[in-house]
Amino acid sequence: MEIVFLAFILMLSIFLGFELINKVPATLHTPLMSGSNAISGITLVGALTSAGAEHTVLATVLGTIAVAMATINVIGGYMVTDRMLAMFKKG
Amino acid sequence: MGIELLVNLSYVAAAVLFIFGLKMLGSPATARKGNLVSAVGMFIAVVITLLDQSIIDYKWIAVGIVAGGVVGAVIARSVAMTSMPEMVAMFNGFGGIASLLVGWAALYGFEANAFEMITIALSILIGGVTFTGSMIAYGKLSEKMPGRPLVFAGQRVFNILLILAIIASTVMFVLNPEQHLYLYLVVGLSALLGIMLVIPIGGADMPVVISLLNSYSGLAACAAGFAINNIILIVAGALVGASGIILTQIMCKAMNRSLSNVLFSGFTKVAAGG
């Protein structure tokens, strides 16, 4: 049952993702790519539990590296997107 | 139970903010606000996850967040405006390897059933391709490596053999989770595939490739979400995966290129020498 439930969520999210993006002006292509890239840093949430659950030493090491990498993705991604869009407004 | 409900309800709120954020990013008047809305969603998701009962020790989480936060902020502030696309590629690669590591770490938390093993394998596979592919894209755009298509005799055969080897080692890995040899094979071969997919593509097509790799990193996060049973990873990952594909198509059209033309240059154009 759990898998069916998750599969439904997955399907609806995919359709929503398809529908969200349409007729984006060319100037916004890179910021949009960068902004959605920051969202894919959500894997940070998974990394947090890996790093903090104390399963094995290896899992903690992998989790900690994952937290650092995903945080770079999230913080860097949002900040870079904001910088791009700030420029865009002035121009 | 109470905390678990709170965590999951907050994930719903975060998903709503991601959806509105993505929508707003698509139009010039609201784009900057949209990015902020999506960042608030991320903040909520991360902070609320810290309440998760499976987290016992916060020491290493703090180390990872501080290190990643400082590096990310310094890179984001110091990069020149003209180098933005390659920065996106680099950040995307870090997200990809994070998903790979989350999938790998999931091997040790619990006894994974066959379905979970498949999703673990997928997050490692897609995460690995995203990581090395993004790094090559970064190298080509920043001119740290030649931007021209890199092709060699027998590339097509090599790539086909590589894909067959990946399928075989993935199957063996899923069937023998305790055999780490297959795990290392999946990690190594997927990293190699990421390189092979991007080197035959010319520097001018890199923005399209980065957009596609961005979609992959969403899919990697989504697979990792299935591996560790986390719904916000599944939802946000699928949103990025799907919207990334659409954006890639839009970008291709704007450049008057076809997606398959860009993607399979390493498989078809070898005879013509790129």
CA A80 to CA B73: how far, in whole Å?
9
Under the banding of pLDDT at 50, 70 and 90, the label for residue A90 is: low
**Whether pLDDT at B272 is above 80:** no
Residue B27 has φ and ψ, to the nearest 5°, of -130, 135
Report how far apart, in Å, the C-alpha atoms of B137 and of each of B32, B77, B83, B153, B205 are: 26, 21, 12, 22, 10
Residues of B in contact with A76 (CB under 8 A): 71-73, 75-76, 87, 91, 94
Question: Exposed, middle or buried: residue A90 (CB in 10 Å: 0-12, 13-18, 19+)?
Answer: exposed
B180-194 pLDDT, tens digit each = 999 999 999 999 999
CA B244 to CA B221: how far, in whole Å?
13
CA B237 to CA B198: how far, in whole Å?
22
Closest CA to A52 of B263, B59, B137, B239: B59
The pLDDT value recorded for residue B112 is 80
Task: Classify residue B53: in a domain, yes or no.
Answer: no
The percentage of chain A sitting over the pLDDT mark of 90, rounded to a whole number, equals 74
Report how far apart, in Å, the C-alpha atoms of B153 and of each of A2, B132, B244, B272 are: 48, 22, 32, 11
Under the banding of pLDDT at 50, 70 and 90, the label for residue B273 is: very low
Mean pLDDT of chain B: 91
Residues of A in contact with B85 (CB under 8 A): 30
Question: Which of A37, A56, A65, A89 is the best mutation test for B, with the most CBs of B within 10 A?
Answer: A37
Please answer yes or no on whether B25 and A32 come within 8 Å at the CB atom: yes
The pLDDT value recorded for residue B110 is 75
Please answer yes or no on whether B84 and A84 come within 8 Å at the CB atom: yes
Please answer yes or no on whether B22 and A55 come within 8 Å at the CB atom: no
The pLDDT value recorded for residue B192 is 97
CA B147 to CA B202: how far, in whole Å?
6
The pLDDT value recorded for residue B87 is 93
CA B99 to CA B133: how far, in whole Å?
14
Contact B137, B89 (CB under 8 A): yes
Residues of B in contact with A1 (CB under 8 A): none
B148-166 pLDDT, tens digit each = 888 888 888 999 999 999 9
For range B26-54, the mean pLDDT = 94
Size of interface A-B (CB pairs under 8 A): 343
Closest CA to B91 of B147, B38, B131: B131
B101-117 pLDDT, tens digit each = 999 999 997 778 899 99
Report how far apart, in Å, the C-alpha atoms of B36 and of each of A71, B9, B68, B75, B84 are: 16, 21, 20, 19, 18
Domain count along chain B: 1
The pLDDT value recorded for residue B153 is 86
Q: What is the ipTM of this complex?
A: 0.93
Task: Classify residue B14: in a domain, yes or no.
Answer: no
Per-residue tokens: B272? 């013509």
Q: Give the amino acid at A16.
A: L
Task: Classify residue B46: in a domain, yes or no.
Answer: no
Contact A42, B231 (CB under 8 A): no
Q: Give the amino acid at B5.
A: L
CA B168 to CA B181: how far, in whole Å?
13
Show the domain range for B185. Answer: 83-268
Please answer yes or no on whether B73 and A76 come within 8 Å at the CB atom: yes
**Whether pLDDT at B265 is above 70:** no
Which stretches within A1-91 are classed as H helix?
2-20, 29-40, 43-52, 57-71, 77-90
Task: Classify residue B132: in a domain, yes or no.
Answer: yes
Considering CB atoms only, which of A13, A33, A65 is closest to B101?
A65
